[in-house]
Amino acid sequence: MLTGAWLLAGCASTGSTGAPVAAASSMTDGAPAVQPPWRWPVRTLPHVDLWLHAFAVLSDDSAAVPLYRRGYRDSITVIKNQRNLLTALDGNRERLVRGLRSNGYLDAQFLPFGYANWDEMRAIAYLVQSPDTGARFPSGDVIVFVQDEGTRFLLPEHQKLLRDRAATITAVDSLWQQVYRTKFERFLNNTSQRQGDLVLSLPVGGEGRTGAGYTGRTMVAVTYPGRASDAMEVLYVFAHEATGALVGPAVSDNTTPAEQRAGIAARHVSSGQVQAGAMLLTRLAPELLPGYQRYYLRQSGQRVPGETRDAYTAAFNATFTLPAAIRDALAKQIDIVLSGI
């Protein structure tokens, strides 16, 4: 998912209360540091996780490929119920959801990318609330609600999960820096993504987030697998995100105004992002394609049929259908990028 212009009045969600969320770092609670000269270091950013967590808790996620890790909100509800825990975010959920629906919220998800940590983000939020400025930012009470969520629930849970998943970030870093970053390099360079940060995010599933980061580089938030053996999932979501900017124009050029008004074009964008990632892997790392197809079938809630390549390829194409004109336009654009034209 790519960022767009961000305008959100009144209500937007996310943050953490009491103690401030830890500053962004490539070394958090046991996660190995990855320092320059890596062009695309693997990182964890607690304030990004907190912000997306709050959106996941507040959102009704009905997308074909969920905006958040499948089942994330339900799993959080179970944990809180077991602990008899009700945060300010939970207690004000209905009011916040109404605000999100009336003001929109998709672009606001990318807000933390522009800040190094939660303290900085919170300080800017309060500054922008000043009567001397007309800028729009999440209302102060939302910041307080989200901060409460962070202090009482997410931050301690986040620190524990990062310790538990230390082996995963090591496996991801090894796969990415030693094997696959160079395979993606030509495509990234030719799409103005030479420098970036690969951010592992606990609330994210198959629908990643891509936007401009506070470092001045591209920031891509991808899923954070629970096991080191699932480290490949990071590469699947990265491929999905890396091609995202190509999909909108291909769909727009090959749909009618009536189809766009009817929401058909939006559905094509969702399928197109999944198919474009598959096309890119076919050219750069075909050994990843079978796993990619199975992963996105599971993300969409579909059963993965059998173990034969033909079976799950057919299921993949049936689930993420695209008109031939859009498919051809995407394939052509990917070829153009890779050829450096």
**pLDDT tens for residues 245-291?**
999 999 999 999 999 999 999 999 999 999 999 999 999 999 999 99
CA-closest candidate to residue 283, choices 205, 336, 221, 207:
336
Q: Which two tokens stand for residue 64?
A: 């074909």
CA-closest candidate to residue 65, choices 246, 212, 266:
266
CA distance linking residue 140 with residue 12, whole number of Å: 10
Q: Which two tokens stand for residue 181?
A: 């970053």
CA distance linking residue 16 with residue 333, whole number of Å: 42
Comparing 151 with 60, which gets the higher pLDDT?
151
Cα 47 off chain centre by: 14
pLDDT tens digits along 160-201: 999 999 999 999 999 999 999 999 999 999 999 999 999 999
First to last CA, the chain: 25
CA distances from 45 to 24, 26, 53, 143 (A): 5, 8, 12, 18
55 Rama class: left (phi>0) / alpha (psi -120 to 50) / beta: alpha
Rounded to two decimals, the pTM is 0.85
